[in-house]
Amino acid sequence: MNFFESQDRVRRSTITLVVLFALAVIALILMTNLLVMMVFGFINADQLRDGGTFVSQMDWKTFFAVGAGVVVVVLAGSLYKIAVLSGGGKVVAESLGGQLIPRNARDPQQRKLLNVVEEMAIASGTPAPPVYLLADEPGINAFAAGFSPRDAVIGVTQGAIERLSREQLQGVIAHEFSHIFNGDMRLNIRLMGALNGILILGMLGYYLLYSTSFSGRRRGNDKGGGGILALAVGLMVIGFAGTFFGSLIKASVSRQREYLADASAVQFTRNPNGIAGALKRIGGLEHGSRVANPGAAEVSHAFFAQGIAGAMQWLAATHPPLAKRIVRIDPSWDGKYDLSEPEDVAREEERGDEAQSLTRHGTAREVAAGAAVMTVMAAIDQIGVPNQPAIDYAHSLLSELPVVIKEAAREPHGARAIVYSLVLDKGQAIRDRQLQRLEVHADPDVYALTLGFMAQMDELDVKHRLPLVDIAVPALKQLSQSQYESFRANLIALIEMDSRIDLLEWSLQRILFNHLDRQFFKPAQVKLRRFDLADLVKEVELVLSLMAHAGGRDQRSVEEAFGAAVAALGSGRFRLLADDQILISDLDSALARLEHLKPQAQSLLLKACAASIWSDQGVSAVEVEVFRAFAGALDYPLPPTIAGRRPA
């Protein structure tokens, strides 16, 4: 199952969620009406004993009024929760007591976790998500939360970083990355909103009971007060029923997705021992995978392993049994859990780096020298599930970066300086004007860092640009609103200083703003309509024409590249635009509309871009960045595509 098929699966799961939610609401309507009719005397017990029926005694006007009230309350509760969660994964992580791990953390265990996340993110072609630590949780667990890769976060318990080896932690993180890329996070947010609506009646019953007791209405023979008291208790009972319905819904939506995420993690790392070893550790640990935070029940379906315990978990568990998950990954498992003590983290990391350095550098060189065709032509199929060579290549890129540059990109001041340095002009006159702009409008410390990094950044290989951006984005997300607005304005001014915007500058700007703007600015409301390629002919022509010109050495090669792209689309309706007909402003508008293509149409468009790139049997650095910017605009993380030589 590839990335695009996974998106369709999530859409089908959303339909299932809507159906189950509707059935639960209908059940709540019936139960609430029964409660109201009995508490306030609409149903006469004597008539029932004499052969009467509920239906004959039902006050239908009241029934529909109560039903409408239940629908309004449930929908209001769901929409309120979704609005609260609109801040993305950060809100979920903080609700569980998670604390953001700084990217330049020095704690060996936290450093190990950040290295694994960063490596996998770059291998996936997406900025590393912020990582939150649930410091007071000794159990082994993790989760991914957010609406899309742009606002995703990963949360990990203290028990996970203390008890898991690097290999096992890599398996767990790969599992969570599969949830990010497969759209499961968005489904989890919707599920949390739906369940809050279902549970809201029980919460109303609790507050009604509390207010009744507090006001003293229970005293005396106040029949009205007694009725309200009975209604409150009844609503609390209905709330328990809502909890049961909610657990069943979570179980029905979540269980199979965990098997798929396990399989994706194995495909990601090519190492079943990693995730299987983590599951065996959970089975051998006293605390298992339990999360003690009171908010864990609400987020239980998003955890790596079963996070809560209870009498009904055998029926409504959000995760498959631990043993079944292990056997699916490791059929030869002997049934014994891992009771051993974890290895010293610092020693493990040091030995692991030494042992893997030569191998990974060698693998990266092999990929770069002989398999560029596979990385560019297979990149679409690797979206969401990059292979081991991609991870090796990411490790190689990170190891080649100067330590001072890499560490600077992991904190907000240095990240801004790194990005500014990437767009400084090579000509001294324009560069002087750019530096004058930064001296006046940038933070003084950031300006000083930019001056200090210029020499090293001028010598930086083009292939390191995107990994640096991926490292810098999480740090840039930590800026305040005013800091980001200043950074954004400065970046645009630096790019426009030379009165032209080249493709490398445009792609860098596009990738950054794709991931940052939605955090700092409220996204505009968009229509939900999904388009086919035939609906957006002009936009497709613009993208494919730009792609062809980006790699074309002459008019003939441009036409061949465009022809290869159109052939991949299977249509001859599209025409090649001249270079002077392509405007950056038009391109931004085109991508905004192409974002609403149907998933399979987006897949076809990206494959057409790949065909354009490889039409001359070579991949340039410009094409790599533009391709990545296109994919990012459509919310698809593109694994690293290696630039290779073109034929003479």
**Catalytic amino acids?**
176
* Phi, psi (deg, nearest 5) at residue 142: -160, 165
Judged by DSSP in three states, 232 sits in: helix
Contacts of 77 (CB under 8 A, 6+ apart): 196, 197, 198, 199, 200
**Of 540, 475, 542, 469, nearest in space to 504 by CA:** 469
Contacts of 392 (CB under 8 A, 6+ apart): 359, 360, 363, 364, 367
Contact 224, 289 (CB under 8 A): no
Rounded-to-integer distance, Cα 73 and Cα 365, Å:
60
What crossing angle do the helices spanning 412-422 and 503-520 adopt, rounded to 10°? 150
- Dihedral, 86, 90, 94, 98 alpha carbons, nearest 10: 160
Q: Which amino acid is present at 633?
A: A
What's the angle, vertex CA 646, arms to CA 641 and CA 648, rounded to 5?
A: 175
- Site of tokens 């909103």: 193
Range 109-114, long-range pairs (CB < 8 A, 24+ positions): 109/161, 109/162, 109/345, 110/161, 111/349, 112/161, 112/166, 112/169, 112/345, 112/348, 112/349, 113/156, 113/161, 113/169, 113/173
Query: What DSSP string runs through 307-334?
Result: ----TTHHHH-SS--HHHHHHHH-TT--
- Site of tokens 């490790």: 395
Q: In what order do the strands lie in the sheet with 131-134?
A: 99-100, 131-134, 153-157, 142-145
Rounded-to-integer distance, Cα 287 and Cα 545, Å:
57
The residue count of the chain comes to: 648
Contact 318, 305 (CB under 8 A): no
Rounded-to-integer distance, Cα 562 and Cα 568, Å:
10
Judged by DSSP in three states, 551 sits in: helix
Other beta carbons within 10 Å of 429: 9
Task: Provide the greatest CA pair distance for the chain.
Answer: 99
Contact 198, 242 (CB under 8 A): yes
